[in-house]
Chains A and B, each alone.
Chain A
Amino acid sequence: MIKATRKWILLKLSSLLMVPFMIWFLIKFVSVYDKDYQSVIEFFSNQSSAIIFSIFIIITFFHSALSISEIFEDYIDNEKTRKFANMMVYLSSLIIPAITIITLVKL
């Protein structure tokens, strides 16, 4: 299988997985974002919320990294710049969810 086909399949699979989690998070976010510290802590330290949120950010950052690399393909002409930009996006899509999941475990 060629690289572009594999990337397209991964984009579509991650999109299918991501949308139900997006709906879940949207509903939870609107009901908790403006509450006090204790309510926000209660939500994120709840085991099921923490697990669902962790899966949500892993899938979403993965999907976004692939999508953003597609945008770079279209708009960044210089190959070196494009590779560097892609590397930064892939790195941050690993580091940000990792730190967030560790934070959720510690809450």
Chain B
Amino acid sequence: MNNNPLSPHIQIYNWHISSLVSISHRITGVINILTLTLICFWIWALLFGNEGYDLIFKFFNSFLGKFFAIGFIWSYSFQILSEVRHWFWDLGYGFELNTTKITGALVIVGSVLITIFLYSIRGILI
């Protein structure tokens, strides 16, 4: 039995913006692929015709459906901004302590702003 500790020990560190964004990047990544799987199931359900779709239509227009949509927009927006932050790191930029705090805060605030913006203009898109 290997008793070496597994990484990372997120429960013993003090929380900082960097660690919060880092673990949220992983969590939203997993949520996003699970959500995309549900969206694929949604597309499969289209094969069953108009009558079967009524239940899905009611769900998406319910409070829970709106929560799902808003959660999906936020989670995707967060992942996009966080991926861009990682690209800069890969190019060797943004490792200074203050810069990581600022870019981390930008990811959090930016994802919330994008969510509000996209949800409020969704009627005029397409």
Contact string against A for B residues 1-44, beta-carbon threshold 8 Å, 1 for contact and 0 otherwise: 01000111000000000000000001001101100110110011
Report whether B29 and A15 are in contact in the complex, using a CB–CB cutoff of 8 Å.
Answer: no
A-B contact count (CB 8 A): 101
Q: Are A15 and B87 in contact (CB under 8 A)?
A: yes
- 7 interchain pairs, CB-CB under 8 A: A15-B87, A27-B125, A29-B73, A57-B36, A60-B36, A100-B44, A103-B46
What residues make up the interface of B, taking CB atoms closer than 8 Å to A? 2, 6-8, 26, 29-30, 32-33, 36-37, 39-40, 43-44, 46-47, 49-50, 53, 57, 60-61, 65-66, 69, 72-73, 76-77, 79-80, 83-84, 86-87, 90, 118-119, 122-123, 125-126
Q: Which of A12, A28, A40 is packed against the most chain B CB atoms within 10 Å? A: A40
Q: Is the CB of B40 within 8 A of A26?
A: no
A interface, size bucket: 35 or more
A5 to chain B, nearest CB (A): 13
Q: Which chain B residues border A67 with CB–CB below 8 Å?
A: 29
* A contacts with B: majority SS: helix
User: What is the bound-complex CA distance between A106 and B46, given in angstroms?
Assistant: 10
Tell me the A residues contacting B by CB distance below 8 Å: 12, 15-16, 18-19, 22-23, 25-34, 36-38, 40-41, 44, 57, 60-61, 64, 67-68, 71, 74-75, 77, 92, 96-97, 99-100, 103-104, 106-107
Looking at the assembled complex, report how far the CB atom of A76 sits from the nearest CB atom of chain B, in whole angstroms: 8
Cβ–Cβ contact B8 & A34, under 8 A: no
B83 and A23 within 8 A (CB): no
Q: Compute how far the CA of A39 lies from the CA of B72 in the bound complex, rounded to whole angstroms.
A: 20
